[in-house]
Amino acid sequence: MSAVNRQVRLARRPVGEVRDEDWEQVVEPVGVPGPGQFLGRTRYVSLDPAMRGWLDDRPSYLPPVGIGEVMRAGSVVEVVASEHPEFRPGDHVVGAFGVQDYVVSDGKGALRVDPSLAPLSTYLGALGMPGMTAYFGLLEVGALKEGETVVVSGAAGAVGTMVGQIARVKGCRVVGIAGGAEKCALLTGELGFDAAIDYRSEDVRKALRTHAPDGIDVYFDNVGGAILDAALTRLAMRARVVVCGAISQYNNETAVQGPSNYLSLLVRRARMEGFVVFDYARRYTEASREIAGWIADGRIRVKEHVVEGTVGDFPATLQMLFRGENTGKLVLRLT
C-alpha cells in the first residue's frame, strides 16, 4: 500500500481540447477516516465524455469542477479502514470519489457492490451510469416500443453498446453509427446490431436511407453535429430524439453546431428531449437487476476497454474518448 495519495486536480479551465497543462498532479498524505467515514483505495476510475462539460464554468446539471479541486469521477474503491457502520474493510464501493488513489468518504451517494456477481469495472459500465443512461434514456425518454427502429450514435461506446443491445432485447431493429470498420464489425457481429454505419467512410444520410427504410422511431444521440443532422432527415412520424450527449461538440472553441434540420421535428410531429440520468436514481436498483439478468442469460454482452496505469494516466486516457480510441466502456485500472 502506498503511503501517499496521488490526485489529479483541475489546474485551469481548458479551452477546446483538454491539455496536459490544464491538470495538476498532486501528492497528499492519505486521509484518516473520522467517525462515520471510511477510507477507500481506488481500484477503477471511470472515464466519461460528460467529464468535458464538468470542466466548463457554465450552468449545467452539476456545478463545474472548481479550479484546484480533485477531478470528479466515478470510481470503484476498496474499503481499507472504516469508522462507518455500513462499510467494512474489504467492501467494494462505487461512488463519485474523484481521480485519486485514496478517498475519505462519509458514504453519501456511495453504493456497496459485489465482486462475485460481476467484475468490479462493470459497476462503472453496464451496471453503472452508462447502463442506467442507456436504460432510462431508451425506455423512459425514448418511450421505446417493440418492433420500432432504433438508431444510436456513438454506438461502440459505453452507452451506445448498451442502447443497441437493450433495444434488441426489446424486439427492435437496431442500427449503430460508429467510427471505423472494426467497431462496426463488433456491433453487427458480437453485439447483434442489425446494421452498422461507419461515419468515417460512409455517407450517413444515405446509409440511414438503406438501413432504416421506414424511418427512425427512436434516435439516441451521443454525438451531435453532422450525424444528428443526418438522423433528423430520416425520422419516422412521431419519432423521439433522445439527447444524451454531443461528444463531437464538447471540445469546440466556437459555438456548438445546432441541428440545422430541426424543423423536421415539425414535419414528422417528432420530439427531441434531453435527460440527466441522476433523475432516475431511485430506480437504479430495478434497472441494474434487469440488466444483470440480460447479461447472465447472454442477451447482453459487456464491452469494456480497460487501461492499466496510475492516477497520473488519467489525462491521457481521457483523450482517448474524444479521439474515438475506446470500444465499450473506458476505465482506468489502477495498478
Question: Which residue in 26, 139, 265, 320 binds a second copy (CB under 8 A)?
Answer: 265
Cβ proximity to a second copy: between 252 and 319 the closer is: 252
Pull the grid cell for residue 168: 434488441
Site string for a second copy, 46-85 (x = CB under 8 A): -------------xxx------------------------
- Do residues 128 and 122 lie in contact, with contact meaning Cβ atoms separated by under 8 Å? yes
| 270 is an interface residue for a second copy by CB under 8 A | yes
Q: To 10 degrees, what angle do helices 158-169 and 284-296 make? A: 70
Question: Which residue in 40, 131, 157, 259 binds a second copy (CB under 8 A)?
Answer: 259
| 243 is an interface residue for a second copy by CB under 8 A | yes
Closest to 122 (Cα-Cα) out of 96, 71, 167, 158: 158
**What dihedral angle (degrees, nearest 10) is formed by the CA atoms of 68, 18, 159, 228?**
130
| 271 is an interface residue for a second copy by CB under 8 A | yes
Cβ proximity to a second copy: between 206 and 269 the closer is: 269
Cβ proximity to a second copy: between 275 and 294 the closer is: 275
- Do residues 211 and 242 lie in contact, with contact meaning Cβ atoms separated by under 8 Å? no
Closest to 38 (Cα-Cα) out of 88, 3, 72, 113: 88
Report in angstroms how near the CB of residue 315 gets to a second copy at its nearest.
24
Number of Cβ within 10 Å of residue 330's Cβ equals 26
- Do residues 265 and 272 lie in contact, with contact meaning Cβ atoms separated by under 8 Å? yes
| 266 is an interface residue for a second copy by CB under 8 A | yes
Binding to a second copy, residues 156-195 (CB under 8 A):
none
Q: Which stretch binds a second copy (CB under 8 A): 71-79, 149-157, 262-270, 320-328?
A: 262-270
Residues contributing to the site for a second copy (CB under 8 A): 59-61, 224, 229, 243-246, 249, 255-276, 279
